Structure 1
Amino acid sequence: MSDSARLAVRLTPGAAADRIDGWDVDAEGRAVLKVRVRARPVEGEANAALLKLLAKSLGVPKSAVTLQRGGQSRLKMIHIDGLDDGQVRANLTGL
């Protein structure tokens, strides 16, 4: 079975630049990755920009990064094929 990871993301659309701001903690005490994208939250554009940025940052194909839930919400759950949770955290911590 191939590795896969889940990643909680707090997305801010309409930012000045696409960037990963680092880790935060949500109200339940779970780690969430703060991400900003230039795209507006119209017709899924911000979600698509988020998936593209994460794939590039993690060094995996875009097809390996999918939106699991939170399509209409700022808080999203992302599924990543090919990396486990530890690899995802390690790859994103240095950014």
Structure 2
Amino acid sequence: MARLAVRVTPKGGRDAVDGWSVDEAGRPVLKVRVSAAASDGAANAAVTVLIARALKVPKSAVRIASGETSRVKRLEIDGADEADFARVFGAPG
């Protein structure tokens, strides 16, 4: 299981990964936008589907470990590792 930090922009017009950024603590964060609104968990569901499709893992393999109600979320992903993140999303930096 690998962990991935994402910064989500709900109602972003489309579902897409916008590359890497750095949070205020200097840690890499993957910027993600989804067209779904943040209400009723729709944006969270869209994020898990988007990341699962990108990594070619089942959507059940992607879980939100923390940050359910915040823009920065920590995901736990079964069947993927840091090398997969670099291959699919590019190297953080």
TM bracket (short chain) = over 0.9
The SS at the match of 1:44 is helix
User: What is the TM-score when the length of structure 2 is the normalising length?
Assistant: 0.93
Q: Please, which of 78, 81, 89 is the counterpart of residue 81 of structure 1? A: 78
Question: RMSD of the TM alignment (CA)?
Answer: 1.2
Count of aligned positions: 91
Unaligned stretches of 5+ in structure 2?
none
Deviation by residue 1:15-41 (Cα, 9 ceiling, x = unmatched) = 111100000000000000000000000
The one-letter code sitting in structure 2 at the alignment partner of 1:85 is E
- Identity, % of aligned positions: 49
The 8 Å contact of residues 7 and 79 in structure 1, kept in 2 or not, is answered as yes
Q: Please, which of 28, 36, 41 is the counterpart of residue 39 of structure 1? A: 36
User: Structure 1 stretches (4+) deviating beyond 6 angstroms?
Assistant: none
Q: Determine the structure 2 residue equivalent to 1:93.
A: 90
Unaligned stretches of 5+ in structure 1?
none
Q: 2: CA distance between counterparts of 1:13 and 1:75?
A: 11
Offset at residue 86 of structure 1 (A): 2.2
Q: 1: CA distance between counterparts of 2:29 and 2:86?
A: 11
